[in-house]
A = this chain, B = another copy of it.
Amino acid sequence: MYFQTLSKPDGRKLTLYSRHPIAAGITAPSPSSDPVRANPHLRWHPLRGEWIAYASHRQARTFMPPPEYNPLAPTKDPQFPTELPEGNYDIAVFDNRFPSLIPSATDAPQLLVDTLPANGKCEVVVFTQDPQSALSALPLDHLELLLQVWGDRTQAISQHAQIQYVLPFENKGVEVGVTLHHPHGQIYAYPFVPPVPRRMGDCQLEYYQKHQHGLLQDLIEREIEDNQRILYQDEWAIAFVPVCARYPYEVWIAPLQPVATFLDLTAEQRVGLAKALKTVTLKYDGLWHRPFPYLMAWFQAPVNGEAHPEWHLHAEFYPPYRTADRLKYLAGTELAAGMFANDALPEEKAKELQAVIVDIGNS
């Protein structure tokens, strides 16, 4: 992996990553030279026992730009700078211009609930220079690089002493509200372990202490034995519709052997995960012969310095469709009660995806 870190005119950082050496002399553009004026804060929600982030400057963020201007494509005309320069890189990561969390948040209003400056970090990860591409279209070694990039970002962001959790994710498709169609994801880094990964960590720790074995590792072993919902498997990695899927087309990807974070992945595991990732995204796009929207999140251990032998890095995909023409709306029982009701059996949806034959190539 080769990389180069640059500063944008507005002070934000840009890091270019490549499978090949990157030529020197690249300068980092920005759509605006105004410094980012975000000063988000957190408010405590006493009835839910959780923090909410407020970032009122975000209402102005980019929304469905006309096709001639794509802020995530390399800058062609210096009169209209985008977020990225031209150059021979594969993946680029930069500080979000409209962050919900920032490393240097200073103020929080005095209110009737506890408040804090919203310390953290929001980064944008551009997966490729090609605006028409997608994870499913990238070569395997490009996806391996992406897994390395997520590891590098996890390490870099963890240098901020206040960061406790790093979450890479991709929102894909207008159905999940994506305003820029250039292939990209985001990284949110939190000054606390957010509710969902905290719960996952608690469940994994309780199981590990009781069984001296990983919770997800055991679940994966039983999924392999059951052999009903598996979409991809090799010596290193697996992809499957979990037996407890909350979304009809939910899929998980994981290394077979537990690792706590991206930094702990071996090269072989990255190869396996890249193949699993390509298989799943190709199957999704192949299912209805059109780009398949989803939220993809990679859950890893907190980065607060402790060892987490109980944690098992993995990805979860939450697609918004329940059939080719019907969305699964989250409503009363999901959003108010927190209990998901799934109209589809995971076994049936796994069969649909298993039936989509894909060719992931060799590199």
Q: How large is the interface on A (under 10, 10 to 19, 20 to 34, 35 or more residues)?
A: 35 or more
A127 at the interface (CB under 8 A from B): no
Q: Do the beta carbons of A176 and B63 come within 8 Å of each other?
A: no
Question: Which interface residue of A53, A337, A344 has the most chain B CB atoms within 10 A?
Answer: A337
Task: From known contacts A48-B200, A58-B343, infer whether A337 and B194 are also in contact, taking CB-CB under 8 Å.
Answer: yes
Q: In angstroms, how far is the closest chain B Cβ from the Cβ of A324?
A: 12
Task: From known contacts A49-B199, A199-B49, A246-B45, infer whether A295 and B343 are also in contact, taking CB-CB under 8 Å.
Answer: no
Q: In angstroms, how far is the closest chain B Cβ from the Cβ of A352?
A: 13
| Segment 311-363 of A: residues with Cβ below 8 Å from B | 316, 318, 322-323, 326-327, 329-333, 335-345, 348
CA–CA, A303 to B331, complex, Å? 23
Of A133-141, A214-222, A275-283, the segment with at least 4 beta carbons within 8 Å of chain B is A214-222
Q: How many subunits of this chain does the assembly comprise?
A: 2
A216: nearest chain-B partner, CB-CB: B47
Task: From known contacts A297-B336, A337-B194, infer whether A342 and B52 are also in contact, taking CB-CB under 8 Å.
Answer: yes
Task: From known contacts A52-B339, A53-B340, A323-B59, infer whether A186 and B244 are also in contact, taking CB-CB under 8 Å.
Answer: no
Q: In angstroms, how far is the closest chain B Cβ from the Cβ of A176?
A: 6
Task: From known contacts A244-B43, A295-B335, A323-B59, infer whether A345 and B200 are also in contact, taking CB-CB under 8 Å.
Answer: no
- A52: which B residues are within 8 A, CB to CB? 244-246, 339-342
Q: Do the beta carbons of A194 and B332 come within 8 Å of each other?
A: no
A196 at the interface (CB under 8 A from B): yes
